[in-house]
Amino acid sequence: MAKYRLDEMDLKILDILIEDARKPYIDVAKALDISSGTVNVRIRKMEELAIIKSSAISVDYERMGYTFIAYVGIFLERNHQAEYVLEQLEAIPFVTEAHITSGKYNLFCKIRTKGVKHAKEVIYMIDDIQGVSRSETMISMEEAFNDKSRLLHKAFRELDLYDFLTTK
């Protein structure tokens, strides 16, 4: 297996893509004074190594009417039911995150709905899943920030000394 080491140019490309994943390669290349072919090759290599898994869009949920956020702690009848319950949660589009947790709850999820009445319906859907014994809900009064980009910039900077194994 060969090794691949992220270099400063890879990190600069990642910095630009973290801010705008849809930025055309030609614009990334111009910003870094390199060819678009170089950008393409480096991005493909990072995709092959699963450093970059996908690109995503960011939407304004409030403009779409999904203004209500709540967090639901889920208690299971039995711990081994977690995978089944997670599959059922994934089928509910208003459940936007789900985590297996330690502590008070077996599972913890985030829901996003159009309002209190809609949230109640979603919580009832969650409570109706076989294996869920009960749930507790916490309402988000306001999303203060939701910014993964700060962590990504920091994490990628820490990777520049890390060697990635390739299959070549």
User: In the prediction, which pLDDT does 49 show?
Assistant: 85
In this model, does residue 167 exceed pLDDT 80?
no
Q: What is the mean pLDDT of residues 74-82?
A: 96
b/e per residue, 120-153, with b = 16+ CB within 10 A? eebbebbeebebbeebeeeeeeeeeeeeeeeeee
User: In the prediction, which pLDDT does 165 show?
Assistant: 52
Instruction: Check: CB of residue 8 under 8 Å from CB of residue 160.
Output: yes
How confident is the model over 32-74, as pLDDT tens digits? 999 999 999 999 999 988 888 888 777 889 999 999 999 999 9
The string of DSSP letters for 121-136 reads HHHHHHHTSTTEEEEE
Instruction: Check: CB of residue 43 under 8 Å from CB of residue 10.
Output: no
User: In the prediction, which pLDDT does 86 show?
Assistant: 98
How confident is the model over 132-165, as pLDDT tens digits? 999 999 999 998 887 778 888 888 777 644 555 5
User: In the prediction, which pLDDT does 161 show?
Assistant: 43
With a CB cutoff of 8 Å and minimum separation 6, the contacts of 7 are 160
Instruction: Check: CB of residue 133 under 8 Å from CB of residue 76.
Output: yes
